[in-house]
Structure 1
Amino acid sequence: MNTTILLFTRDLRVRDNPALEAACAGGQVVPLFVLDEAILSGPHAPPNRVRFLLDALGALRDSLRALGGDLAVRRGDPAREVARLAAETGARALALADDRSAYARRRLAALGDLGLEVSAHPGITIAPPGGLTPATGDHYRVFTPFWRAWTAARHRPVAGTPGTIRMPPGVDPGPLPRLAELTSGAPSPDLATGGEPAGRRRMAAWLDEAAADYDRARDDLAADRTSRLSPYLKFGCVSPLELANATPEGFRRQLAWRDFHHQVAAAFPDLPRRDYRPRGGRRWNRDEGALAAWREGMTGVPIVDAGMRQLRREGFMHNRARMITASFLTRNLGIDWRSGLRHFDEWLADGDVADNAGNWQWVAGTGNDTRPNRVLSPLRQAARFDRDGEYVRTYVPELADIAPSHVHRPWALPAAARRTLDYPPPIVDLEWPQ
């Protein structure tokens, strides 16, 4: 009987998994996940994502066992571990999800040298990177025409979930490592639980309770009406296609932005490192003290500090707060967007290379924004999207008892009241005309 190794990468689910569907149709399947030493030893394996990954792998193993299979877990180089498992099982084919990041392409090239029949299947994004191209050029550089093409495209059908998985006998699944074996740091205290079941519960609750109100309330920081599905999309615990099929247009547009950044990163692999659109040799400030205050949520600007503290507490930040904090770092402090990207990458459970870099460059004016000089005033943003200061009071407890009229400008309090606050003054002057 034919045997296929199914290499899971960023598609840690059994529902709507085209690679799983194709592998099961071919005969026996050996599901495999390789804890890649090249990633674990680098900057892209911080505690929040490692713990979320381990949650997802445990849930995936349970789901595969319920279908009669299992998940083989190995640690090392993916090509070497696939070759070893192919020799043990007699597998002649390899299936995996198609990924176009620079690292994924190097991995695919190494897998292609093993002599196996390799097939890459869609599923990480809705529109595969490179699947939509303009009349001239290899990718869309502006979102609006990409959005038009994305909405007009005929996307693939949802893949079926196998009724059973046939594994060859004798495959040692191997243990799932403990968190302490993979990282020395501690995850955020309020980090969400990873895995397909948790992701599907979150998706179902959001669709039932908040999706219909998304367009109106998505920027309301205190209301917290966003889906919070981004880490489940990052790890493929929920299908972006299934989600798009069930959500209103405003949210589908956000999923299209995700696809947009992936196609930009596929065409410009240096997106996390180099300006996509250089802006005349702009010089960035090298102010380590200001950068440290920003990282710690101690800038003295409440709306910025609230976002940065939410990031550390939850491994997540509201999207509007991401824009505000990123604009403050690059525009108000004049600090290089790459410093902000690295900090977000350290803490975000949903830290995806394409999305993180694409959004940072958009805010910094070096990316795909058609208005590169756009500046988001933190005070205006606070007045519009945290009108009563509830978001700030949630994450900056020093200001919990401040009246709404002063919570975003505590420096405007009378001197006697300011002296009782254990909160710093702003590190930049924001009292220009807003």
Structure 2
Amino acid sequence: MHLLSKLHPSRYALSLSTLSRRVFSSHKIPQKMGSEDWRLREQAFRQELKTIDPKDLAEAMGGDKPPEEDLLSSFDDGLGYFTTAAPKRWLKHYWLVRKLGWASSSTVWLASDESERPRKFVALKFLTSQATAQITHFGSPEFDVFLKINAAGHHTCFVTEALTSSLTNLREPGKNRFALPIAKRITRQVLLGLDFLHRECGYIHTVVCQDLKTENILTSPPEPVASRIVEYVGLKGNHSIICGLPLELKSQELPLVFAISQPLPYLDLGGSLEDISVRIIDYGQATSAKEPVREPVRDHYYQPDLIRAPEVTLRYPWISAIDIWTVGCVLFQLLTEQNLFGQDPGKYTHELHLQRIEECLGPFPLNFLKDCKDREKYFDGKGKLLHTDNDYAPTPIEDILRALEAVDKDEILGTAGFLGKCFTLDPKLRPSAQELLKDDWLM
């Protein structure tokens, strides 16, 4: 997350979630304590939880387990979520409206900035205390950062643009294919964002997004944003889903509230696909590409399984080209609502992933394979796959597009050609985001 402190997203508003320019320095925070203080409060929190009747706890959570993020986790558990957020609460000059989402390192809330007139809606992203501890540098004027401290420790909050539906849940499953002009529009914006990350991020030489997927590409709400959100949410009504009764704790200044995520729906707010504007979010997995990466972390391979670039699987020194591979996967998914290199759910193997890639793109080049640390696991000396199943069936991308009726017949070859560039097997030859932005197919 620390790499975000030097992004300048206002220069690429089409493709990056813009952040407020105001900065709250730490001495302005009304409540401040040292590490020993919050450790003592955390210990009190832990001890009090042991005394709570399980029935009361289940009543607050709406069941035996937390419905989403575990507000009862601690810093030592590797989490430590922000426990103060709840609907209709003030945090500085922000009025919390409803929870938009959560992940392993943060929760995100919709809030009204009451210091602005007319009213402005923002998203408050509260990092866990563990994620906050990993941040080593602030200083960019692009951030509106403030520090809150509670029983779970220190928490950094980013104040960003309030965003709406991801490309994954823009429409209901089975009806979420995008027409080619709209898919091109989205692809162009994503490439603008990646071009900025790859070439112009000032804090480090290059940044690899690494976790680019449709879930992490969100839409920007249509204008006028504030009036549309007010009309949809209804600030005076029941605008947030709460699981149970607030949990009163002596060690907490305010009761714990277990809320359910409610993303803002782009289309229900009056947005149109023809005017869609997207933002890349979630840089928790972003990596510096100043030094090429080869090794997985504790056997955890970078990128989601089905959209993983072959150089990651084969432990070739990879850099920003892996994001271009993912652009191809995202584009194919937008057009077809399917994964090009799909496997049966829960049965992923590296062997079948490499087979699916070869079926679509042809044999892996030997010049690439010779520098792959794991080549002998999957290929013989001539570059032939060692492990294939009985379904091995070479099928070019254009044939797949034709069979799925994803685009008009006269667009198949051009679309397949652009996808083929994104899926260039040798990452040294794969086009950059800057180069793809100049491709005639996108014009």
TM (norm. structure 2) is 0.26
TM (norm. structure 1) is 0.27
The structure with more strand, counted as a fraction of residues: 2
The structure with more helix, counted as a fraction of residues: 1
